[in-house]
Amino acid sequence: MTLLKAPAPIPSRGFCCFGVIMSIGVVQEQTITFESGIRLESGRILAPITLVYELYGTLNADRSNLIMVEHAWTGDAHLAGKRSENDTKSGWWDAIVGPGKLLDTDRYCVLCSNVIGSCYGSTGPASINPKTGKRYNLTFPVITVRDMVRAQELLLDHLGVKRLLCVIGGSMGGMQALEWATQYPERVASVIALATTPRPSPQAISLNAVARWAIYNDPTWKKGEYKHNPKDGLALARGIGHITFLSDESMWQKFDRRFSARDGLFDFFGQFEVERYLNYNGHNFVSRFDANSFLYLAKALDLYDVAWGYESMADAFSRVRAPIQFFAFSSDWLYPPYQTEEMVRCLQELGKTVEYHLIPSAYGHDAFLLEHEAFTPIVRSLLERVSR
């Protein structure tokens, strides 16, 4: 086990070279539809399938420099750069993608695809069912993380890429990375999984269950047949989920027990700052995410098991060919380090090439998005080795 001390935060919105901040610039979202679709783990056929994706950098002549970045639960394909010149917000992992950054677009071509089941353009419950001309809603089939990756394989074939240089992801993205390693071992040269799990714990499942109840009990949800997002239920569900992304230490640091300066201390509806934050975060989420997609992706998380369809985790990991780097974060209580360590021990016993790095962090589960400085040199070293 390697224990890494996270450095103090530094500005991360670009790469500084001789005083010039390098940026990926404006990126263009791309869309592809596969009429044949895929057979899901449930046995149902989902067709056609539309995938939204973004590409950064250029594929080399033999198409061997592609890095796939997998997004987490409510993420999207907008990994880096901006959508327009007037866009004020960069992609969700902009800090590590671009010229001279960890995923150096002068050397690598970087791909991020929105998963099926989402509401950011890829086929999901908010999409129109071509057979009925109406939204799928709850007629959309239950999907798994493995189904998400199966759809992405279609995209790789479309791009003419036989083998990924690397697949990297955190949380649900890490689950997808593990699926690439076990289901398509011949198609990946390296794998990096951050803040993830071989299977969510009963505690994680129970928290998702409570989030589901929040949506189900919103009278405007109407069993998925709503015309307008059930904002109260979805905001509450997001609030529950967001608590799991944080940590006790980070919440003390960010909010302490401060009472909102806007409210009177003995006002019955007065709020602590942490309450106000969760309220803001939850209702802001409603404007950008679909309730049914939230439910379907939560179900996919709960169902995830790297050993699904195998006799054991060892049986599943026996298929792995690529070196795997695992990163866990000390304050992550959603997918705590012991869950990563279980996978590491299993791979070591199988004689597979595996690294484990435990990073001390106060940021909880979200640390993989916020403390990239801690893992950048280690990931860069792996990319250098596999590139050679």
Active site residues: 171, 332, 365
Structure token digits, residue 374: 């801690």
Give the integer Cα–Cα distance in Å for 64 and 108: 9
Give the integer Cα–Cα distance in Å for 42 and 35: 19
**Who's near 128: CB < 8 A, 6+ residues apart?**
134, 135, 136
Count CB atoms within 10 A of the CB of residue 242.
16
**Who's near 157: CB < 8 A, 6+ residues apart?**
none
For 218-271, give the DSSP string. -TTTGGG--SS--HHHHHHHHHHHHHHHS-HHHHHHHTTTPBPTTS-TT-TT--
| Strand 2-3 versus strand 128-129 pairing type | unpaired
Tell me if 79 sits within 8 A of 122, measured CB to CB: no
Find residue 170's DSSP bridge partners.
194
Give the integer Cα–Cα distance in Å for 169 and 176: 7
Interior CA angle at 152 toward 386 and 379, to 5°? 30
Torsion 130-132-136-140 (CA) sign: negative
Note if the bond before 125 is cis, omega within 30 degrees. no
Find residue 140's DSSP bridge partners.
none
Give the integer Cα–Cα distance in Å for 271 and 290: 27
CA 304 vs CA 172, 212, 373: distances in Å? 9, 17, 29
In this structure, which amino acid lies at residue 156?
A: L
